[in-house]
Every structure is written in structure tokens, then in C-alpha cells.
Amino acid sequence: MACISTRHSQEWSLVSPLTIKTEADARDQRIAELEAENARLRTIRDALITRVESSGAHKPEPYAAFEHSVVLAEQVRERTEALNLAMSELKSSNRALITAREEAEMASQRLIDAIESIGDGFVLFDHCHRLVLTNSRFRSYWSKNGDLIRPGVAIADMKRLAVETGLVLEEHRDRQAGGVVYLLSNGRWVQVSERPTREGGLVILYSDITDLKNTEDERRERALAEKSQLLQSAVDNLSQGVVLVNDRGAPEIWNDRFIELTGLSPHQVSTETSFERLMALSETPLLTPDSLSNALEHRRQDGRVLEIRTHPMADGRYVNTYTDITERYRYAETLRESERWIRVVTDHVPALIAYVGADLTVQFCNKVYEAWYSAGNQSLLGRRLEEVHNPELYARLLPHVRDALAGHSVTFEFEETNARGQQRYMLRSYVPNQGQDGQVMGFFVLIRDITDRRRTALALQQAYDNLEQRVKERTAALTGLNSKLRQEISERALIEARLRDAKMDAERANLSKTKFLAAVSHDLLQPLNAARLFTSALMEQSFGPRAEGLVRSVSTSLDDVENLLGTLVDISKLDAGVIQPDISAFDLRDLLNNIAREFRQMAIGEGIDLRFVPSSAVVKSDSQLLARILRNFLTNAIRYTRSGSILLGCRRRKGGIELQVWDTGPGIPADKLTEIFQEFKRIRPAGAPQDKGLGLGLAIVDNIARMLGHRITVKSVEGRGSMFSVIVPLGQLTVDQYQPEVQGFVAPQPLDGSRIWVIDNDRTICDGMRTLLEGWGCEVVTAVSLDDLEHQVDLAATPVDVILADYHLDNDENGVDAVAGIHIQRDDTVPVVMITANYTNELKQHIRDLGYQLINKPVKPLKLRSVLHHLLLAG
């Protein structure tokens, strides 16, 4: 039987039993030959001995016989030695053969053991591809038909039996692995790999890859599930409503936007309800690939307009999209209305108006243009200029047309005759229309009838000739009058100079007043700050209901004084240019959260619902000044809103963020919207309670916004409410961006045992601070200067937790220098809170660079307690 050639080139490294058997047969044949040669040599030896012994009587001479016997003996000895050598070689060969047989048997047994130890099924075929050897793993696959697999079975017969007996259910070609994968009847997957042996045989391994196959299937299912989830997420984030209808006509995938735009409820939409029945529940019409059109527009009862499109798929499914085109529809209607008005206006203009494209076709013209150049009622739209004008006129116009198409505006005039034979003098203007790329897309045509003007010009020329003499006469009369006018002008110039000097004096006086108010702000706030500290300490004591009410009344009055004084100081500092913006990029999250938390309690106290929409946008502005703008907006909203709600939120605009405050107050009359930003202007609706403000809040907002370069907008409807907003440009944070300190307040925490040094040049402030801090359980040491503090405590050794220092001290000293003097004498660094009425950016940045906390006057006790608690926890 012809042998089958192998398909692999890699050699089989183990020695097969057939090779060992062939070598043993060769050794046996060699031994047999040596034994036959040995027997022949013995026969020769015996014959020689017999001959020598039998021929001794016939020797003529004894010496000859002796010599002959010696020769024979020598020959016998040599033959004997050769025979012994051959016998020795024969014995060595026998021992080597025995060793080889033992090694062959051991190698064969080891091969069998190795094959049995393999976890894969093993099959060995000879050079004719007939079965030689298998292991138990392979035979286990044929548990029910194992008697069919025996040595000598051809590989083709074995494959046929595997299919006929039902052992193999499926066969797959694995291109990546370069082999075949079978699914067996027991549900296991095996991968087949083949290798040729040195003698031309074949070794086949059957590897169980069931676990790997299951893992791969699980991975594919997991990947498919993740893709489905990503697809659903992508669909949910679309601005369009999307629904995928399967080949059974039921919705398979949809998003919330689809449910919103169709007016359905979420429980109505399911994969069990047909799409046709589902859309019958909605006012939205049904659209499928079988409809007459694949797109339609639908106007809902609430006025919204939807664009519905259907997209068929090859497998019988289709996708419907629902787009809210209300704004686009209204914009289109607006454009159509605008076009109608443009048509109405141009048709009633006595001039000839048209637009000619780059291909010299008339794309627009008014009725006057059409009536002048059209002999009948034929439309000129779409017709070329050479068809509209007669050849002579077209030839005269062509050079000017080329100039317009080259991008030049041209104006010229000459006589021409219209389609009805009327001859008029016309003034033409060609204005090119250039696109964004600079290419001329056409030109506008404006033609005016100047026949009457030309006639008038001729008449005027004639009149000019007659009037020239009269002008000379009048010139002489006017010369005298002119000298009198020059004298009057000189007098008025002197008066104007005096007015300018008076205006400059007034401006200098106003600026001096403004600078004075800005400069004395520290002195004005000092007693107010002390009063605030004392009242805060009193409010924490228990004096009885009546005394506590009096203390609260005093605190409320101080709040009013603080607000009024702060407003006056702020407007003065703005006018004096003392406040300079510190522009930087920051996150709106903390700013808006703190403001909302601050005003929510105030709104609750007034019975108003304050709603807040957070934002994490990054803007570029001064965070404190921007917060002042929003606080003024919210203060006015709470002040004038009797009931309802207030909304604080953001809207993205092109290149910026618009921070908005909406209220449901009484609104502002349209003719008063500009007055509310003027100083000392207040609009109080009828029946509204008396306002304690000065009318400076929005004036401050306007000044701050102009300083920051932000735009303030206001919208209001009387009886419904108002919206104030400020537009802030977007920013971008850097890696080393300064993080603004938290402005919100934390809940009061116990400060018992905290050691605090207070440095302030005002004894009243020191007493008030001592009273307040000792009421919180602190151990307080107060001093008016560094020398005063040094006389009371050992600066180097006395323990201290926090230093409170006023920036402005006596004798040209400041709190920063005083704290530096303390730190020079100490080994540790004490946390510092710097208190000041100075709002300049230079001082604020200087305090930040030193790592100190900054609190502006007047000090709010709750904020001071929050800062102390934060520093003590951090320490």
C-alpha cells in the first residue's frame, strides 16, 4: 500500500521502537558471522594439527620436520591469537548489544510513560500513516468505540470512524493557531496539532481547550454587553429622540429624549408593544420606511415643531429620529417674514434694485427694476444680463461689470432707453458681494433715475451765472458782519475757559471727598468692629428674654450701620480707584456654593424659596469682586420679593458664562431699567415696605462690572419678576493655580483651652476681642504693640496656638512686622490671622504669600470662629 507523505517539516526528536529493533537485528547478524568465522578457524587449526602429527614419519630429516612444526606452531599461535581477539570482540559486542537492548527497552518504556503523562491525547502513525501507538487520554475519547481504534488503522479510516460514530460534532479551522478545532459528543473542545517524525511518520496531539473556549465566549459576551451599554449611553446622551425598531416591528432601543418629544410615558414603551400601537398613543404621527416619505415635520399642540426621519437598515430594522426644530422653524419663519418685508420695502423704493450672481444671472430684482427692463410680464429672475439688456447697452455696461466682479465698487452714469422706448439719465452703483474666502459671489445693483436732477443741475448752472454778481454784492455786506461774529466768538471762548476751570475745580473737590472717604475707612470701621465684638459676646451670654432682645436689636442696628457704611466706603473706594481687580482663573463651584449657602438661610427667614443650580465652570475674573456682584443681586432679590422663589444659576454663552439671578418680585418698569444703576436711585413698587438702603447697590455693581470688563444685563416684567446677570469670560486653571480660601462657614466648634495672642492698637478692640474669645473658652493675651506683648509674656517660651494681629498699628508699625518679630524669637511657626480694613490686591497677595489667613473688617464673629477652628485643626 502506498505511503502518505507528511505535511510538516519539524523532526520528531524521540527514538522510535522500529529504529531500536533494526539495530538489534544488525547486531545479531554480525554475531552470527563472527561465530561462523570462529568455527572455520577451529576446523583449519584441527586439520593442521592432524596433518603435522600424521606426516612425521615421512620427513627426510628431523630438522626439517622440527622447522616445519615450529612454523606450524607459530601459525597456530597467530591464528589462536586472532581467534581470541575475535572472541573478545564478540563478547564486547554481545555486552553492547545487551546494553543497547536494555536501553532500548528502557527508552521505549520511558516514551510510553511520557506519552501517558501528557494531558493531551497522543497518537503516533508510521511512515505509511497507520496507527502505531496511542495514550489513554486519546483512548478515553473513544470510550464506547475503543475496540475500533487498534494498531494498523489508517489515519483516514480513523477520521471517518470519528464522524460515523458521532464522536465529532463540529469541525472548525483555527487560522490563528494553524490547526483544527473539534467539538466532541461529550461537549468538550479539542484542538488538533500535527508533527512529522524523522522516519516520515506522524504525531498528532489532541489538546482540551474547553476552558479556554468558555473563557473566550464569556469575554465575547461581556464585550458585547459592554458595547450594548456604551451604545445605550451614547443614545441616551443624544439631543435627538432615537428609537430602533426591530424586524418584528417592536421598539428595541430608545432614549429618554424620544419619550419626551413623543409625549409618551416611560411605562408605555416596552419591547413587547409594537411600534405602530405605541405611536397610536401619541399625537406624533407614525413614520416607517413604508411611508410615502422618509421625513416629515410635525407641529405639536404645545407649539413645538418636530422633524421626524426614518432610516431603514439592511436586516429589516429601521431607526427613527425625532429632532426639536422649534427654534430653527421659528428662525425660518422669521427669515421668510424678513424676506417678505425686504420685498415689500424694495418694491416700494423708487430706485432700481437687483442682485446679479457671478454667472451674470439676475437672482433678485424689485418691481421697479423689472418694470423698467421687462417689455411684458416676463420675470427677469434667472436670465443673463445680455438677455435683459439690448446689445448696445450690454456692451457699455460690461467693463463696469468686470470691475465689480474683480472686487471693486463702481459708480457711473449715462443715458439709456428702457424696453418701452423711454430715454432717461440713470446713475448706477455696483457693489461686490465677497464671501469669507474673499471670492466675489456676485454684486448688488442700485440704479437711480437722475434725469430731474440733471435738468435741475443745468438750470442751476444758468442760475449760477446770474447769481455770481449778486454773490459779490452780498460778500461785501457780509464782511462787516463776519468781523462782529469773530469778536463774539472770542468772548464765548473766554467764557468756555472759565467753565472748564470751574468743572476741574468741582472734579478735584469730588475726588478729594472720595479719596477722603476711602482713606478714613479704617478709622470708621474700628469702633464698628469693636461694637460688633462686644454685641457678639453679649449674645452668647444669658441675661433673660428682654435683655437678649435688646442685644439682638443692637446687633441688627449694627448690621444696618455696617451695610450702609460698607456701601458708602465701597462706592468711595471705587470712585477713588483704590480697589484694583485681581484677575485670575478659578472654579465657580466653591464661590457659588458658599453664596447659595449664605443666602439660603436669609431667604428662608423671609419665607422665600432659594433654588440653586451648581456649576464647575472655570472663569477668569476677580473672585471677591464677582462675589460682591452676585451678593448685591441676591440682596435686592430677597429685599423686593414678597413671596415665591429666587433662582441662582449659570448659562453657557459664546466664550463665557452668564451668572443669573431670577426672582418673582414686582418687576421694574421698562422706562426705569437704566435709572436703577444710578447712585441713590431706588425704584420702590406701590405698597412695598420702607427700604433702609441708599440705592447704591446696583451702582456698585455697575462700577465693579466696568472695572472687570464684564457686561451686566437686566430683564424685567412688571408683576412677574426680574433677572439680573453678569457675563464672565471662560478661564483655564494651571497646575500651580492658587486655590481660594474657603469662604463658607463651618458649624461652631469648641475652642476650650486655645491660647491666643491679640495685637491691636485700639484698646477697645482688644477688650472686645478678649471678651468674645474668653466666652469661647480661650486663654487670651491682648497687646497694643509688639513691645507691649513682650512685657506680658516670654515670646520665645510661652506656648501659643494662634496670633490675631491688626495690620495697621501705631508709630508706622504693622501686624506683619510684629508677627515677624515674634517668629524670630521662636523655634516654631505660629498660625496667624491678619485683620485689616485695607482691600487692596497688593496687601491681599502679600498676606497670601506669607501663608497667613486674612479677614477684612468689620470682623464677623462666626467667620472668625470658623477660621480659628480650621487653623487649630490644621495645627
The CATH topology of domain 349-449 is Beta-Lactamase (3.30.450)
Instruction: Give the C-alpha distances (Å, rounded to integers) separating 501 from 498, 506, 507.
Output: 5, 9, 10
Q: Is the pLDDT of residue 557 over 70?
A: no
**Alpha-carbon gap, residue 116 to 127, rounded angstroms:** 22
Name the pTM for this structure.
0.34
| Superfamily of the domain at 238-329 | PAS domain (3.30.450.20)
Q: What average pLDDT does this structure show over 478-499?
A: 78
Q: Is the pLDDT of residue 306 over 70?
A: yes
Q: Are 442 and 464 in contact (CB under 8 A)?
A: no
Q: Is the pLDDT of residue 326 over 70?
A: yes
Q: Is the pLDDT of residue 673 over 70?
A: no
Which 3 state secondary structure label does DSSP give 190? Answer: strand
Highest mean pLDDT among 440-444, 504-508, 641-645: 440-444
Q: List, in sequence order, every residue forming a beta bridge with 347; answer none if it has no partner.
A: none
Q: What average pLDDT does this structure show over 80-101?
A: 79
- R_g (Cα) of the chain, nearest Å: 56
Q: Which residues contact 813 (CB under 8 A, 6 or more apart)?
A: 785, 786
Digit-coded pLDDT (tens) for 815-863: 899 999 999 998 888 999 998 877 677 788 888 888 898 888 777 777 7
User: Mean pLDDT lowest for which of 175-189, 253-267, 436-450?
Assistant: 175-189
Return the pLDDT at 678.
Answer: 59
**Alpha-carbon gap, residue 793 to 179, rounded angstroms:** 91
**Alpha-carbon gap, residue 569 to 552, rounded angstroms:** 25
Share of the chain above pLDDT 70, in %: 78
Digit-coded pLDDT (tens) for 766-823: 888 888 888 888 899 999 888 888 899 998 889 999 999 998 888 888 889 999 999 9
Label the pairing between strands 305-312 and 318-324.
Answer: antiparallel
Q: Do domains 121-215 and 238-329 have the same CATH topology?
A: yes
Q: List, in sequence order, every residue forming a beta bridge with 444; answer none if it has no partner.
A: 355, 431
Say how many C-beta atoms besides its own lie within 10 A of residue 162's C-beta: 20
Return the pLDDT at 1.
Answer: 37
Q: Is the pLDDT of residue 9 over 50?
A: no
Return the pLDDT at 375.
Answer: 67
- DSSP states of 317-376: -EEEEEEE-HHHHHHHHHHHHHHHHHHHHHHHSSSEEEEEETTSBEEEE-HHHHHHH-SS
Q: Are 123 and 134 in contact (CB under 8 A)?
A: yes
Q: Where are the domains of the chain?
A: 17-115, 121-215, 238-329, 349-449, 455-519, 526-729, 755-874
**Alpha-carbon gap, residue 797 to 396, rounded angstroms:** 104
Please report where in the chains the cell 477652628 appears, as a residue: 869
Is the peptide bond between 289 and the residue preceding it cis, with omega within 30 degrees of 0? no
Q: Are 637 and 701 in contact (CB under 8 A)?
A: no
Return the pLDDT at 3.
Answer: 42
Secondary-structure percent of the chain, ordered helix, strand, coil, rounded to 5: 50, 20, 30
755-874: CATH number = 3.40.50.2300
Q: Which residues contact 867 (CB under 8 A, 6 or more apart)?
A: 833, 853, 855
Long-range contacts of 285-294 (CB under 8 A, 24+ apart): 287/320, 288/245, 288/318, 289/318
**Alpha-carbon gap, residue 448 to 413, rounded angstroms:** 9
Q: Is the pLDDT of residue 738 over 70?
A: no
Which 3 state secondary structure label does DSSP give 98? Answer: helix
Digit-coded pLDDT (tens) for 522-536: 555 666 556 656 666
**Alpha-carbon gap, residue 258 to 242, rounded angstroms:** 6
Return the pLDDT at 658.
Answer: 92
Label the pairing between strands 755-759 and 802-806.
Answer: parallel
Highest mean pLDDT among 443-447, 689-693, 864-868: 443-447
Highest mean pLDDT among 116-125, 504-513, 661-670: 661-670
For residue 730, the 8-state DSSP code is B
Q: Are 620 and 728 in contact (CB under 8 A)?
A: yes
Q: What average pLDDT does this structure show over 585-605?
A: 84
Q: Are 532 and 861 in contact (CB under 8 A)?
A: yes
Return the pLDDT at 728.
Answer: 93
Q: Is the pLDDT of residue 241 over 50?
A: yes
Q: Is the pLDDT of residue 583 over 90?
A: no
Q: Which residues contact 572 (CB under 8 A, 6 or more apart)?
A: 513, 514, 515, 517, 518, 521
Grid cell locating 231: 451604545
Q: What average pLDDT does this structure show over 218-245?
A: 76
* Mean pLDDT over each residue of the chain, to the nearest integer: 77
Q: Are 559 and 531 in contact (CB under 8 A)?
A: no
Label the pairing between strands 295-299 and 362-365.
Answer: unpaired
**Alpha-carbon gap, residue 124 to 122, rounded angstroms:** 7
Which helix or strand (DSSP H or E) is residue 253 part of?
A: strand 251-254
Q: What average pLDDT does this structure show over 550-574?
A: 58
**Alpha-carbon gap, residue 383 to 359, rounded angstroms:** 10
Return the pLDDT at 14.
Answer: 36
**Alpha-carbon gap, residue 235 to 243, rounded angstroms:** 9
526-729: CATH number = 3.30.565.10
Domain 121-215, architecture per CATH: 2-Layer Sandwich (3.30)
Task: Outline where DSSP puts E strands in 260-335.
Answer: 295-299, 305-312, 318-324
